[in-house]
Structure 1
Amino acid sequence: MRRAQAAVEYLMMMALALVVALFTIRIVQRTAIDASTQVTRTSEEIIKTMNEMMEG
């Protein structure tokens, strides 16, 4: 009976670790996407500003 309880506890810890890992991966992924979007926007603004300076 004690072995079964230990096995269940081990599985619960593994499940919790998996949930934490997935949550962390999702946050990192979302942060990377947001950063990429911001870099793209900033690059476009720089290009636009430079083009305006060269034309005018």
Structure 2
Amino acid sequence: MRRAQAAVEYLFMLAAALVIALMVIRILMRLSKSISEQNERTSREIIKELNQTLNS
């Protein structure tokens, strides 16, 4: 009985660790996408400003 209880507790802890890991991965992927989009916008703005400066 004690071994079965220990096995079930281990499985619950493993499941909890997996859920937490998946949540962290999801947050990091969302953050990465946001940073990438910001980087793209900033690059476009810099290119626009440089073109305006060079054409003036």
Give me the TM-score of the superposition, normalised by structure 2.
0.97
Where structure 2 has 5 or more consecutive residues not aligned to the other structure, the ranges are none
Computed over aligned residues only, the root mean square deviation of the Cα atoms, in angstroms, reads 0.5
AA of the residue aligned to 2:19: V
Give me the TM-score of the superposition, normalised by structure 1.
0.97
Pairing of 1:1-56 with structure 2 (within 5 A): 1-56=1-56
In the TM superposition, structure 1's runs of 4+ consecutive aligned residues that sit over 3 Å from their partners are: none
Q: Percent identity?
A: 57
Number of residues of Structure 1 aligned to a counterpart in Structure 2:
56
1:28 CA displacement: 0.6
SS of alignment partner, residue 17 of structure 1: helix
Where structure 1 has 5 or more consecutive residues not aligned to the other structure, the ranges are none
